Amino acid sequence: MSERLTLPSPAKLNLMLHILGRREDGYHELQTLFQFLDYGDELTFAVRDDGVIQLHTEFEGVPHDSNLIVKAAKKLQEQSDCSLGIDIWIDKILPMGGGIGGGSSNAATTLLGLNHLWQLGWDEDRLAALGLTLGADVPVFVRGHAAFAEGVGEKLTPVEPEEPWYVVLVPQVSVSTAEIFSDRLLTRNSSPIKVRPVPKGNSRNDCLPVVARRYPEVRNALNLLGKFTEAKLTGTGSCVFGGFPSKAEADKVSALLTETLTGFVAKGSNVSMLHRKLQSLL
């Protein structure tokens, strides 16, 4: 079999992140606002008829069968009772441990891509439910629309925030999410807010003070970007971002900052580029 498909795997930003409390299962009750970027990895799939699932791109420190891409493919294969296999390659540009959803996005692109190639006919709800077993951020990538999220991030309400251009800085440090969420100084008692719209002044990230204290590289990026716009942390970081009304302004600031820091410019998007590509295939 030779059918091939190349799909984007976009980054996301958390435009705000409030922590309401710790649950009995150890997870935290959150409220967050997800928006996609027109920037991300690219996955290529080729169907095979022997049932083998093979990721051909190696990730340092991540065994083949532990990669979320492989886990997603195997779970979908098992639960759909599909006899087909897949070869997968990835052009990886999103940083690992950056808070912009690289692994979760890769898993979602795999689920949607294989659902299409294997002609399974699964609907979005079923794919999102399977995605949740892989990670709390996978469902928003499966659904592909900017969303206000509650619970551990899986209860999604579609929203339409503004779509500015963003400068995203990538400090060369990997932040441990578990470490941040176990920090005794982390705010865990934010008051819930109503979804439409997220009120002005509620765009903070409750993880930011802890991350900035523990990681000077992140603190430095926040301070530098903060000279030009409101600088925010996405997820538990390490990536830092700020919005601009035009590409020209974002490019200008990025050029100044990326002389010493790694970063990129990308357009915010309320419909993910993965879903726009899939729609074009129908």
61 labelled as ligand-binding? no
272 labelled as ligand-binding? no
103 labelled as ligand-binding? yes
Residues noted as catalytic: 12, 137
99 labelled as ligand-binding? yes
Q: Residue 280 corresponds to which tokens in the numbers above?
A: 């074009």
101 labelled as ligand-binding? yes
85 labelled as ligand-binding? no
Q: How far is CA 59 from the centre of its chain?
A: 18
226 labelled as ligand-binding? no
235 labelled as ligand-binding? no
Buried b (16+ CB within 10 A) or exposed e, 159-184: bebebbbbbbbbbebebeeeebbeee
CB atoms within 10 A of CB 68: 19
Backbone angles phi, psi at 91, to 5 degrees: -95, 100
State the virtual CA torsion across 259, 170, 62, 14 in degrees, nearest 10.
Answer: -160
Q: What whole-number distance in Å separates Cα of residue 53 and Cα of residue 230? A: 44
In the block, tokens 């993880």 appear at 207
- H helices within 164-205, ranges in order? 177-181
97 labelled as ligand-binding? yes
Instruction: State whether residue 277 is helix, strand or coil.
Output: helix
Known binding-site positions: 95-105
Q: Which residues are annotated as a binding site for ATP?
A: 95-105
